């Protein structure tokens, strides 16, 4: 299913695939955001004394990258359509 986004001017656009990967649909930067989110969650799930701190630091980096990508493209919202 195509990924969509809302631009700052309110326009809804389809986010096109921008790479040659065969393992995902949509833009590569959004795929990598999801990969990073899952890896960061594993840090938290594995526990340990400093897991929360490591998770928070890595999530901060992930979200900063996502924000930069969205600002660069003038995106204010990623629209995720449920498949249900």
pTM more than 0.75: yes
> pLDDT digits over 62-84, tens only?
999 999 999 999 999 999 876 55
In a domain, 73, yes or no: yes
Range of the domain at 45: 3-79
Alpha helices in 3-50 (DSSP H): 28-46
Number of independent structural domains in the chain = 1
In a domain, 48, yes or no: yes
Strand partners, 12: 6
In a domain, 14, yes or no: yes
> Residue 64 and residue 36: Cα distance in Å, rounded?
12
Closest to 1 in 3D by CA, of 18, 19, 20, 14: 14
In a domain, 51, yes or no: yes
> pLDDT digits over 2-54, tens only?
789 999 999 999 999 999 999 999 999 999 999 999 999 999 998 888 999 99
In a domain, 84, yes or no: no
């Amino acid at each position: 299913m195509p990924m969509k986004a809302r631009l700052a001017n309110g326009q809804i656009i389809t986010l096109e695939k921008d790479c040659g990967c065969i393992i995902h649909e949509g833009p590569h930067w959004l795929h990598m955001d999801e990969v990073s989110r899952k890896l960061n969650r594993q840090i938290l799930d594995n526990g340990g004394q400093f897991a929360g701190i490591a998770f928070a630091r890595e999530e901060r980096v992930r979200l900063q990258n996502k924000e930069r990508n969205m600002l660069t493209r003038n995106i204010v919202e990623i629209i995720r359509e449920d498949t249900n």
